[in-house]
Structure 1
């Protein structure tokens, strides 16, 4: 059971808090896995805020702990073009502050996102070398497919459930 007070759909009022959370989660998760200068240049508050405004918030969930957002997950009813699959949904992101990992929050976020997916079959991408995340996804029934997507300097591995 998660010790998070609530997992709620994101609203427009959450844009700024989510952008700050996104930056913090990316830096916590990927320092040492991708070049620091790339993180510093590409994963900024301004970019994350503009990105979220552009793509919307209708398919984003936020995990809240005592009124503070600590994680988020998003999904697509149909997997994006990289997947090359029909009838497959996609968990397009799931991030959680390191301070809340190992407490059931990630599982609760993933389960909430999966419940909202249009299809039973779900794909996701995970950064190559992110062994902790790969293990988490495997524990939830995802398997590596052997396919990868490269967008330098990121190489992501496809997982399917």
Structure 2
């Protein structure tokens, strides 16, 4: 079993209707990853995750079972780990938006209207994978160098990064 350090992120499966919805959305963008959700370990046995009710901090034992950790796959300094954990904690309460899924899907097909992209970016809402990408970006760690805009990240994108 991998022992996470503060700043590591985890990828999980979600059961039930929510997992089916996320899985269907990922399938629509050609993302057949076996994960649906991501969260950031902030230390002390706690994780921060984006949820439809807003980003929350919860005990790790209350989170979905982990399929994969980023531990050892995304090199981080102690300072970067501290910033990631702090920034994740600062995002607790950040609203969630299902519109972000649509925006990411349209970006995948290169048909996203600029007005939608700008609107989604201006709201500050985040789905789980966007939260992970954002806190890493705030720590100076760019997870993707493929030209995508910040936040155009699915759990499957994170999966491919660490598998």
Answer whether TM exceeds 0.5 for this pair: no
Please state which structure has a larger fraction of its residues in strand.
1
Compare relative contact order (CA 8 Å, sep 6+) and give the higher one, 1 or 2: 2
